[in-house]
Structure 1
Amino acid sequence: MSGNLLSIGKTGLFAAQAGLSTTGHNITNANVAGYNRQVVVQATGPMLDTGVGFLGTGTQVSQIKRYSDEFLNVQVRNAQASKSGLESYHAQISQIDNMLADQTAGLSPSLQSFFKGVQDMAANRASVPSRQAMLSGAETLATRFQALDTRLGEIREGVNSTIEASVTMINSYANQIADLNDKIGTFAAAQQHAPNDLLDKRDQLVMELNTHVKATVTPGDNNSVTVSIGSGQPLVVGQRAFQLAAAKSPTDQTRLEVGYMTGSRVTVLSDSALSGGTLGGALEFRSKTLDPTQSALGKVAIGMALEFNAQHKLGLDQKGDPGGDFFSVAPAYVGRNSNNAVTSTTEVTAVVSDIANLADSDLKVEYDGSKYMVTRLSDKAQMEYTGAGATQTMFGIDFKITGASAKGDEFLVRPTIGGAANFNVLVKDVAGIAAAAPIATSSPLTNTGTAKISAGTVSKDFLDSPPALPVTLTFDKATGNLGGFPGATVQVTKSDGSTSSVAAGSVKFFEGATYTFGGVSVTMSGAPGDGDEFKISGNSGGVGDVRNIGLLGDLQTKNIFNNGTATLQSSYAQLVSTVGNKTREVQVNGKAAEALLTQAQASAGNVSGVNLDEEATNLIKYQQAYQAAGKVMQIAGTIFDTLLSIGR
């Protein structure tokens, strides 16, 4: 009997000792990240049949239980991935927001200063000092465009560095998780119990992995886990770790993409395939903010250059020569896919020509074996290139495709991405500013009526096929016609806005009407007398004429973007507003994600966290159990000694 009592006491002693060790383990690891509290689970020992009933044989430790709720862990991991992604996004976008909205570093001050210089030149009769000030303002504007684009380029390089660093860390975590899968499986197979501390370490690695990219975890065989990312690409399967690679984009060698390695082959994943974490936040920032911002800034630059150049060409410089391009217009970026056939010699050139009809979107050019299709990526709208090597305008862009093609040839076209970087002033001499209009109007003092002719304006048609000047218009009172128009027809726009094309020999005089021929437009007012003449001639001596520079100044308020609904200033303001609103959105969502993470961690901590007060209570409990079990063994020893003494 005393032997059985001694055995019972011994089992209690061992169980209490295990409880003390486990409690001490909990206390000393309470501040270790990812540690889950452990508890000794006891079970009753096997019964002993004595013939008159079953007698207990003590207790046994059946399990060292690890408290961890996978449902709550998933919530923590998802919240961590979301928070890290938004933090990464906000860290990048806040740089752009501060730059664009800055009153000194932004574009608005330079744009306003430039147009003020244009207007001052018009007010000062195109004097040399005012010309120099206007030219200096143009150089400042060009420098500002280039500086903003350079800063965006630096941020783009920062995104590339983030991608490289994140890919390296993800691969490291994958290898460590696979190694722990191996160790955990080995221990579990040999001992029939999972090693709790290794499980904690693996869970912590998975949690840290989610700070870089959102990962999905599913249980596998032999206590292993399978980790997948993106749209289901496996990162860890059992003891095998797969790898990611930072690969150059096939259509842009300066742009890093995330590739998935299968053997020696790297498959580039789309930016949208990877979400959450530092990597997902950086990729989302680049595709949804950085690329559109750089393109929108380039669009403002190209729109400015196209409109200013078009009007500048309609004027005369100080030498009496027609104006040329004032600003350079950057060609579209065309990226040839590196996977195109080696036999292909296809070349694609693209230049923005119609800024009003240009959508904020990249385009893709593909050859299907018989024809080239141009696809606008924002809405998948398509047009077929039928130019056969000649220029064809599609989506506001002049395309030209030449060379031998192969089926599957693909090109990425980014219309305005380089607009700001390549915005330069081409006029270097103040005498080259075309401030004057190319025509001048007059009427002799001998006219008997009160009719007046306006100073006149010219359009693009004047450059294409100018009429022979001078032209003298004569009023015939008997017929009410204005004669002397060159060409076959004249466009007449009445004061009420109605427009009609009339044969040159039968053009009626209407007060307040505008007459257009050969790109020249003049407006008549008053009442002409019979035989009154009105002369339109070349403006060969218009040194002090500032009519064209005045029209150039009007471009500041002209609607030239978005089908003629946005000005230069409003288009840039829309860009600033879009970035600002997105920055605020990401900031607010980031704070919400942080709160959700805190709540999820608290919920998981209630299950798996170590409560030092509770552990202190357990220490006392197991200490008393240890002392009590020792007392049982002491009594068993006393009884045994008594039995021995009787025998003596």
Structure 2
Amino acid sequence: MSNLLSIGKTGLMAAQTGIATTGHNITNATVPGYSRQGIVQSTTPPIAQGVGYIGTGTEVAQIKRYYDNFLNTQLLNAQANQGSVDAYLGQISQIDNMLSDSTIGLSPALQDFFKGVQTANSTPSLQAARESMLSSSQTLTGRFHEVSGRLTELQSGVNSSIASTVNSINAYSTQIADLNTKIAAATADPLNPPNDLLDQRDQLIRELNQQVKVTVLPGENNMLNVSIGSGQPLVVGVSSMELASTTSPTDPNRTVVAYQTPGRQSVLPDDTFSGGALGGLIAFRNETLDRVQNQVGQIAAGLADAFNDQHRLGQDLNGELGGDFFKPIKAYVGYDTRNSPLSTAKVEATITDASKLTAADYNVTFDGSNYNFERADGVAVTPSSVAPGTPTEIDGVTYNFTGDGQQGDRFQVRPTYQAAADITVAITDYKKIALAAPISTSVPSSNKGNGTISAGVVDATYVDTPLTTPVTIAFHQTDPADKNTRTIDGFPPGTTVTIKQPNGTENTYVDGDTIPYTEGATISFNGASFVLAGAPKDGDTFTIGPNTSGVGDSRNGVLLAGLQTKNILNNGSGTFQGGYAATVNYVGNKTREMQVGSASATTAVNQARASQQSVSGVNLDEEAADLLRYQQAYQAAGKVMQIAGQLFDTLLQIGN
């Protein structure tokens, strides 16, 4: 009888455990991260009898947690990618909306600016036309400042988001380490771990993984070790490490992530964070925000430099050579805060050639003798090494290193990073606008032939040796029948004359040389150039000299207006408006890419979650069926005990 009672009792207890476990599943079905549990039964050891072994009942061997590590890893990867793409999309959408807004876009302002130049060219002597040109210039620089300010706001927003995300990561790491401690203490038998604590830890890891992509490895006593990037640990057993958001060593306006160790912080490379919201924020900043800031700055710096170069070759209403129309723009130089305190090195970097200017950043290191350059995008730099005290131009920026540098000093140079914020109109007096050309040419009416001279142009070298008095060029031909005897002279003593033939051939002549006359050739000296054409007669002269009455002249203004359609940027392959259009197009395409990526990532997460839930999820219909099954088992086990009791009573009655 006792054996039968024991069998019924074990069945009763097993069914009771099954009912409790099923009820636990039902009540936790909506708890995030909960994994379905179930009982695993086994038979108790039988008793040997003469006729064989008689069973003694059942026992619950394990409360099983339905969990598949492969499916969980798939879900983690999908969620990390989704977190990254969504963070990227949320940021780039703001730039896309800004650039596509015609009220703050640069293209209309650029068009209005050059329209103002053309208006001034039509009536160069009128004050109103020149002041209108100044007004459109101020509007353009204001638009650059507005776009730059909006991008700076986005930069600050990214900084705040990075700091907030790092705080969340640290909080998750601490909680996971605490759960590791509790799980290890509760794991007396590795085969029977505390399932609910495991679920809580896995849910925290999923949430952490949405902030930064993690790698999870098993440890002792059912603990898990969590790391990021190339193996930087966040959780090791019962200990948690901390990340820190700190200021970039080379840019006080940029937040970076550092690994916190006792007594120091080590800045982590940006490529450490390849997924999660943190990875998406950093990728957005590096791939899009920096690029847009640099490219908009390239347009601003390129416009200022090219316009200044041409403006300096003109003549203003006061009869003086033009100065800078825009204030010269200097490159941003970030001095690494980790440089030696003994270093007194200073870097002056000024944009000097718009055509060679790039939208790239540069890393500079001092090896004790020279400053070595590397482009951040990996493109080779020529020259790649600069000696201190030697002004050198690299990619349109002229560098001059002064002071005493220390070996290992580091700098970050961003030529166009702040150019859009720095561009400023240098001229406030309309009379200082140099629309006229500084030289003029003429043909005396006394000439006998039909020779002509072009209006004349100047180049950058003219500024150093401007004409102060007219120069008379005389034509000679000793034999009227022989074109080979045609020559010209009258150039200022000590000057070098260059003759460029229509076919492109150039010849240089100095004092004492006989200079032949070729119809249509370009003649240059002291930075001034003109073309003689036609058939002059012996003794005919041509005059080139200062433009003494250039009030109504707009020849230099026409050249300034021509900069709108001239290929200047990127080694003479793009216009200013073309460069801006390329930036808008890049942002638009990247935004669409992120939108498609976000939809794809959402689908991937849903599929991975569905696969994971097919194993770990609670199905209420199944649980209801299990509840009925265990209820019937409980009732049946009770019936066994009831019958055992009745049999025992019968035996007692027989004995009486």
Answer yes or no: same fold by TM over 0.5: yes
Q: Secondary structure of 1:497's partner? A: coil
* 527-536 or 302-311: bigger deviation: 527-536
CA deviation string 1:264-292 (max 9, x = no partner) = 21110011111211111001111111111
1:377 is displaced (CA, Å) by 2.7
Q: Does 1:482 align with 2:488?
A: yes
Moved over 6 A (4+): none
Aligned runs of 1:67-78 on 2, under 5 Å? 67-78=66-77
1:442 is displaced (CA, Å) by 0.8
Equivalent of 1:523, from 520, 531, 541? 531
Aligned runs of 1:383-532 on 2, under 5 Å? 383=383, 385-478=385-478, 479-486=485-492, 487-503=494-510, 505-532=513-540
| Aligned equivalents of 2:387, 2:260: Cα separation in 1 | 40
1:468 is displaced (CA, Å) by 4.8
Amino acid at match of 2:237: G
Q: Secondary structure of 1:420's partner? A: helix
| Aligned equivalents of 1:320, 1:468: Cα separation in 2 | 12
Q: Does 1:608 align with 2:616?
A: yes
* 164-173 or 581-590: bigger deviation: 581-590
Asked if structure 1 preserves the Cα contact closer than 8 Å seen for 2:486 and 2:516, the reply is yes
| Aligned equivalents of 2:55, 2:189: Cα separation in 1 | 30
| Aligned equivalents of 2:250, 2:325: Cα separation in 1 | 32
| Aligned equivalents of 1:375, 1:395: Cα separation in 2 | 12
Asked if structure 2 preserves the Cα contact closer than 8 Å seen for 1:371 and 1:384, the reply is no
Aligned runs of 1:243-282 on 2, under 5 Å? 243-282=242-281
1:205 is displaced (CA, Å) by 0.2
1:58 is displaced (CA, Å) by 0.8
Residue aligning to 1:216: 215
| Aligned equivalents of 2:407, 2:505: Cα separation in 1 | 52
| Aligned equivalents of 1:485, 1:387: Cα separation in 2 | 41
Aligned runs of 1:27-106 on 2, under 5 Å? 27-106=26-105
* 177-186 or 95-104: bigger deviation: 95-104
Tell me: CA distance 1:502–1:191, structure 2 relative to 1, closer, same or farther (3 Å): closer
Residue aligning to 1:622: 630
Q: Secondary structure of 1:556's partner? A: coil
Asked if structure 1 preserves the Cα contact closer than 8 Å seen for 2:216 and 2:225, the reply is yes
| Aligned equivalents of 1:15, 1:34: Cα separation in 2 | 27
Amino acid at match of 1:198: L
Q: CA RMSD in A?
A: 1.5
Residue aligning to 2:586: 578
1:179 is displaced (CA, Å) by 0.4
Q: Secondary structure of 1:227's partner? A: strand
Q: Does 1:536 align with 2:544?
A: yes
CA deviation string 1:124-147 (max 9, x = no partner) = 334222111111110000000011
| Aligned equivalents of 1:223, 1:6: Cα separation in 2 | 38
* 368-377 or 146-155: bigger deviation: 368-377
Amino acid at match of 1:595: T
Amino acid at match of 1:480: R
| Aligned equivalents of 1:128, 1:277: Cα separation in 2 | 59
1:510 is displaced (CA, Å) by 2.3
Amino acid at match of 1:501: T
CA deviation string 1:536-573 (max 9, x = no partner) = 12112211111111110000111111111111111111
Asked if structure 1 preserves the Cα contact closer than 8 Å seen for 2:190 and 2:221, the reply is no
Residue aligning to 2:596: 588
Tell me: CA distance 1:188–1:555, structure 2 relative to 1, closer, same or farther (3 Å): same
Asked if structure 2 preserves the Cα contact closer than 8 Å seen for 1:358 and 1:397, the reply is yes
Q: Secondary structure of 2:421's partner? A: coil
| Aligned equivalents of 2:215, 2:409: Cα separation in 1 | 36
1:380 is displaced (CA, Å) by 5.9
1:203 is displaced (CA, Å) by 0.3
Equivalent of 2:644, from 608, 622, 636? 636
Aligned pairs, number: 647
Asked if structure 1 preserves the Cα contact closer than 8 Å seen for 2:495 and 2:526, the reply is no
TM-score, length-normalised on structure 2?
Answer: 0.96
Residue aligning to 1:11: 10
Asked if structure 2 preserves the Cα contact closer than 8 Å seen for 1:145 and 1:421, the reply is yes
Asked if structure 2 preserves the Cα contact closer than 8 Å seen for 1:187 and 1:193, the reply is no
Equivalent of 2:569, from 561, 565, 574? 561
Asked if structure 2 preserves the Cα contact closer than 8 Å seen for 1:126 and 1:435, the reply is no
Amino acid at match of 1:348: V
CA deviation string 1:78-106 (max 9, x = no partner) = 11010010100111111112212322211
1:161 is displaced (CA, Å) by 0.4
Q: Secondary structure of 1:205's partner? A: helix
